[in-house]
Chains A and B, each alone.
Chain A
Amino acid sequence: MMETALSVEGFSVWRGRSEIVRSVDLEVGQGELVCLLGSNGAGKTTLTEGLLGVIPARARKLEFHGRAIAGLRPWHRVRAGIVLVPQERSLFAGMTVEENLLVGARPRSQAGPFDLAAMYELFPRLKDRAGQLAGTLSGGERSMLAIARGLMLQPRTLVLDEPSLGLAPVIVQTIMRTISDINAAGVSILLIEQNVHQALRLASRGYVLDGGKIIAAGTAESLLASSLVESGYLGSTTSTREER
């Protein structure tokens, strides 16, 4: 049994008065790459924001490396090592790429393996764009910058909310490969995706979220084989419900 990075039980998250995520159980092991699947409106993004403490949430248990984090403010959770790369990226559009990377960077004394040089090595595109305003980047570059900005915080667990959303297949490949590399470097990853096949190829385990509840969980192989995936229920890109 490996050490647990993130352990969540009975986790509910609200938006305004509506309970979007209902009593979810979820676990990410140290160094593991777990994916969370679900169509639009399943509550994936709400779940991530609840994890970070940005919106009201309640949990029977919310632990990060054995430490209860429910009472922590978002920035303290980030400093504890749980880092979110949000779906909307939340880049600092009016700041340059390099400034974006440096906002949350720790002082040199506390720096880990992910420094500016390492980021430019991982994403050579960002090096070319270093002096450019983040608001002028392409979709793929924005996604890369968001991931790199997250890595600069030296995360123990990286929560990636649809990093491939709206990107061309070639770039999706690159990003997925990078995610795999990051995981190989020892960072636990919770990958949130609609792109079921891509995600399950990387992950060891997965959860399926629908209507705010976990409706299936298991190893990547078992999920790939399950009827949920077969039926095309998951990964449908033409969902009628809006992500709220």
Chain B
Amino acid sequence: MTLLQIATTGVLQGLIYALIGLGLYLIFNVMRVVNFAHGYFVLIGMYGVLSLSPRSLADFAVALLFVAAVAAAFGYFVERFLIESTLDKTGHAQLVITLSVGVALQYIFQVLYPEPYQTITNPWPMEAITALGVTISFARLAAGAVSLLLAVALSWLIYRTRLGVYMRACAESINGAMFVGVNVRRVYRSTFALGAAAAAVAGGLLIPFQPVSPLYGLELTVKAFIVVVIGGSGALWGTVAAGILLGVAEAASSVYISGSLGSSVIYTLFLLVILFRPQGLARRTVASA
């Protein structure tokens, strides 16, 4: 495989990771909640589109909207009824609750979809594109492009809308937001719903070329976190860049390192990055201490 091929595949995959990571980035920065269920929100999108099994592009688009709505509703529910009341308490109850929500989802999917590694037939009009000696499946290309588009849309929402202003205010200072009359709880719920919807759409985009298994959720949670941590708390584009970086690193390691050891290398690299550059999000947590 050529370098260009690796780079293209990696960047496209990375854009999807970026979209997943952006959802987590919003939830973390606005609420300071570590959402361990995030990867499972992606699975809601994957299994949702899988069970709708769209045949045409129009069906696929409707299916994406549908899973986004379902995930948003689910995210809202989780925040409103499970997480919100624990925000008052010390300790990391939200962490264990979101982890448990994830575990529950994982095994529910396990029971509902016993057959592992299912996928859907390609809903996009083309199978693959070849240019400059690089062959890319169209589904992957389209998924990357749509993810990029949605990342831009999210950034528009954050910087140009009222809700976005409130979200940024909460991220900067919860007290400040409350003191200027922002209904912090409503912002939290919207943020959680939005983050979950972004994750689910990313899942829907993945399913045409990425077979799904319940175990994939946890892996995605960790990857989303890696993206957020590496991206840092400064700007949205850091998260997107980190997503692309992760995608490329993964594509490269899958070529040069055999099998499951590839992901081990990535996670070990991540631990080393934490060791040597714990900036970004880390700065916030230290500041609150």
Q: Chain A residues with Cβ under 8 A from B161's Cβ?
A: none
Any B CB within 8 A of the CB of A61? no
Number of interface residues of B (CB under 8 A): 18
**With contacts A94-B168, A103-B165 known, is A78 near B176, CB below 8 A?**
no
Any A CB within 8 A of the CB of B110? no
Bound Cα distance A86, B168 (Å): 19
B172 in contact with A104 (CB, 8 Å) = no
Interface size class of A (residues with CB under 8 A): 20 to 34
Q: Chain A residues with Cβ under 8 A from B172's Cβ?
A: 91-95
Q: Chain B residues with Cβ under 8 A from A54's Cβ?
A: 175, 178
Bound Cα distance A66, B179 (Å): 21
Any A CB within 8 A of the CB of B141? no
B183 in contact with A92 (CB, 8 Å) = no
Any A CB within 8 A of the CB of B173? yes
Nearest residue, chain B, Cβ from A99 = B165
Bound Cα distance A169, B182 (Å): 34
Q: Chain A residues with Cβ under 8 A from B180's Cβ?
A: 78, 103-104, 149-150, 152-153
Q: Which B residues, 235 to 252, have Cβ-Cβ distances below 8 Å to chain A? A: none
Bound Cα distance A145, B148 (Å): 37
A90 in contact with B183 (CB, 8 Å) = no
State which of A75, A91, A92, A150 has its C-beta within 8 Å of the C-beta of B178: A75
Q: Chain B residues with Cβ under 8 A from A86's Cβ?
A: 175-176, 179
A74 in contact with B169 (CB, 8 Å) = no
Most buried by A among B165, B173, B180, B183: B180
A-contact bits for B171-191, CB 8 A (1 contact / 0 none): 111011111111111000000
CB-CB nearest 3 A-B residue pairs: A104-B180, A90-B176, A78-B181
- Which residues of A are interface residues toward B (Cβ below 8 A)? 52, 54, 73-75, 78-79, 83-86, 88-95, 99, 102-104, 149-150, 152-153
- Which residues of B are interface residues toward A (Cβ below 8 A)? 165-166, 168-169, 171-173, 175-185
